[in-house]
Structures are given as structure tokens and as C-alpha cells.
Amino acid sequence: MAYPLQLGLQDATSPVMEELIQFHDHTLMIALLVSTMVFYTILTSVTTKLTNKNMLDSQGIETIWTIAPALILILIAMPSLRVLYMMDEVNNPHLTVKTIGHQWYWSYEYTDYKNLEFDSYMIPTQDLIPRQFRLFDTDHRMVVPTDSPVRMLITADDVIHSTAVPTLGVKMDAIPGRLNQTTFVVSHPGVFYGQCSEICGANHSFMPITVEAIPLIHFEDWSTSMLAKI
Amino acid sequence: MSSMFRMVGKQLKTHPSLIPLFIFIGGGATMSMLYLGRLALKNPDVSWDHKNNPEPWNNIEPNQQYKFFTVNTDYSKLKKDRPDF
């Protein structure tokens, strides 16, 4: 999960996020190399004693600095489009979870077999117990099985919200009157946090998303117990 | 119009480094226009023939590839596992 002064992306918990991290590292490396080269060039140009008042143009270097950036951009575009199309693929989901954004909480519905619906409110800071994370933990978590493609249908009840779980590479707007779909696969069990990512009013910062991934054999135990509780 | 091309052709002879520029910019513009054309003509969200095919998005086969590019999904191998509409 996120930690203070974090600079990089969170570790991946889904195959899509792994691809996104690889693409990010690839592109950032290119950007850093180009920036270093430009910075070095500017530095040497500014601190040199050499002057040539008759230099007008040069065909050689102009050809090089047209072709090289074009090739670099192609090297960035190809993985980018590949990851983009990969993120769009719907891969036979095992489970569908409906996520509805409200002011200021999320509600989840698991309606594949029975009618399981519950709300997920952030735990207020004064009510936290020692193992819980401030502004991240919720009273009920969205539980999903590991290693199973999950389809998430997202909408909102009032204003635009956005559900995001960075470690899964998931972000999708929750727009009233519209149903958005995204899919993800959780690679290993754990608890993963995200926060509402579209300004939605006074408590926009206080409606987090908590995803708990458990092995598939235990998933029905949870759904049965939740149905009994609600 | 043709005088503009002649002017550019003369400049190209003295500045051959401009040729890669034409290739990349021209290629990029061509590819963009081709993709926009593909979207206009083959995207099932677009309806041209209001009489014979007014809602193409309702006529997509379960194993029809409508996107330009697939990474992991082989549409020809997909099973049709839902009832006919």
C-alpha cells in the first residue's frame, strides 16, 4: 500500500499492473536518458569559450536529430499500444462485482448467485483500532477470490466518483446514469487499498476502497457469512 | 498549388535533411487518417446505413474481433456460450 514520501508505483498485485510498471520503467528510462543528454548539451554550450559566428546549418546533424527522436517515439508507442489493448481485454470473468459510488461511501453487490449487497464506510479516525490504517480501512471490504478474473461494473448514485486500487492497476470512473466495466485478476492474497479518485464533495478524501483477496476455496465461506450477517 | 510543391522540391535539394521529416510526419499523418477511417467504417458503435443496419452494435458476433489489435485473446477460438438474441 502507499507509504509516506513514496516516489514510485506500488508493487503490482495483478498481471496488468506488472505490465504497466514495466512500461513505466521503460519510458521513464528513455525520458531520463534524453533529459540527461539535453542537460549535458546545454551545460557545455553555455560554459564553452569556443565561438563560431559563421555556423548556419548542417545537413548531417539535422538528419540525425530527426530520425533518432522518431525512432525513440516508435519504441515508446509500440509497448504503450500493446498494454492499452491488453488492458481492454475481457478474459472470461469468474465473478461480477457491482460497485456503486455514493456520497460518501461505496456499496458492493455480488448478485451472481444470491443477492449480497453491503455498504463500505471508512472507519473514522477516532474509532481506529491499533492495526488499522487511517483513511484507508473500511468497515466492510470488497472480497474477491485470487487468481480469478473479476469483472467490476461501476456506477454512481449521485455525483461522479472514481474507484481506484493502484496495486491492481484499476481505476474507473463511477458516473451516474452510466455503467462502466473493468476487469482484474488478483495474483496473491492480501488486503489492497485505494481512494476515491474524482472530487465528489466534502468527504471525497474519506471514502476509500478496500479489496481483500482470499483463496477461491474460502471465498464461498465469506459470501455465505456475509449473507447471514446482512 | 503546384508552385508550392516546386518550391519545396527546390528546398529539398539544398536541404536533404528535410526528407526524413517528410517521411515521419507524412507517415504519422497517413496512419492517423487511416485509423480514423477504420474507426468510422468498421467500428460497431458507428451507424451509417439507417435502413439496413441501423444498430451495428447489436449485430456483433461473439467471436468477432472489432478492435484493431489483440494481445492475449484469440477471437477465432472463443466459444459462443450464450443464447441467440
Tell me: do A118 and A166 sit in the same domain.
yes
Domain count, chain A: 2
Over the stretch A172-189, which tens digit does the pLDDT of each residue have? 999 999 999 999 999 999
A85 with B67: Cβ contact below 8 A: yes
B70 contacts on A by Cβ (under 8 Å) = 85, 89
Last residue of a domain, one of A65, A88, A111: A88
Whether A179 maps to a domain, the answer reads: yes
Last residue of a domain, one of A67, A88, A109: A88
Tell me: do A56 and A120 sit in the same domain.
no
Tell me: do A51 and A134 sit in the same domain.
no
B70 with A89: Cβ contact below 8 A: yes
More confident residue, A133 or A57: A133
B71 with A89: Cβ contact below 8 A: yes
Whether A3 maps to a domain, the answer reads: no
Top residue of A23, A56, A59 to mutate, by most chain B CBs within 10 Å, is: A59
Write the CATH number for A54: 1.10.287.90
A59 with B21: Cβ contact below 8 A: no
Whether B79 shows a pLDDT value over 70: the answer reads no
**φ and ψ of A13, to 5 deg:** -120, 10
pLDDT at A158 (0 to 100):
95
Whether A175 maps to a domain, the answer reads: yes
Q: Which chain A residue lies closest to B25 (C-alpha atoms)?
A: A70
Write the CATH number for A150: 2.60.40.420
Question: What's the domain range around A184?
Answer: 95-229
A59 with B20: Cβ contact below 8 A: no
Tell me: do A116 and A158 sit in the same domain.
yes
Tell me: do A60 and A100 sit in the same domain.
no
pLDDT at B77 (0 to 100):
74
Q: What is the mean pLDDT of residues A21-37?
A: 97
Using DSSP bridges, classify how beta strands A161-165 and A116-120 pair: parallel, antiparallel or unpaired.
unpaired
Over the stretch A44-56, which tens digit does the pLDDT of each residue have? 999 999 888 888 8
Tell me: do A80 and A175 sit in the same domain.
no
Q: What is the mean pLDDT of residues B50-68?
A: 85
Q: Distance (Å, rounded) from C-alpha B58 to C-alpha B64?
A: 12
Whether A5 maps to a domain, the answer reads: no
Tell me: do A186 and A201 sit in the same domain.
yes
> Which residue from A67, A81, A89 is facing B73, i.e. has the nearest CB?
A89
Tell me: do A62 and A133 sit in the same domain.
no
Q: Distance (Å, rounded) from C-alpha A15 to C-alpha A81?
A: 16
Which residue do the cell numbers 444470491 mark? A114
Tell me: do A129 and A164 sit in the same domain.
yes
pTM attached to this predicted model? 0.89
Whether A25 maps to a domain, the answer reads: yes
A89 with B20: Cβ contact below 8 A: no
The C-alpha of A88 sits at a distance from chain B's nearest C-alpha, in angstroms, of 9
Tell me: do A183 and A208 sit in the same domain.
yes
Whether A107 shows a pLDDT value over 70: the answer reads yes
Tell me: do A19 and A103 sit in the same domain.
no
> Which residue from A57, A67, A86 is facing B71, i.e. has the nearest CB?
A86
Whether A92 shows a pLDDT value over 90: the answer reads no
Last residue of a domain, one of A37, A56, A88: A88
Q: Is B15 helix (H, G, I), strand (E, B) or coil?
A: coil
B21 with A86: Cβ contact below 8 A: no
Tell me: do A102 and A165 sit in the same domain.
yes
Look up residue A206 and give its amino acid.
F
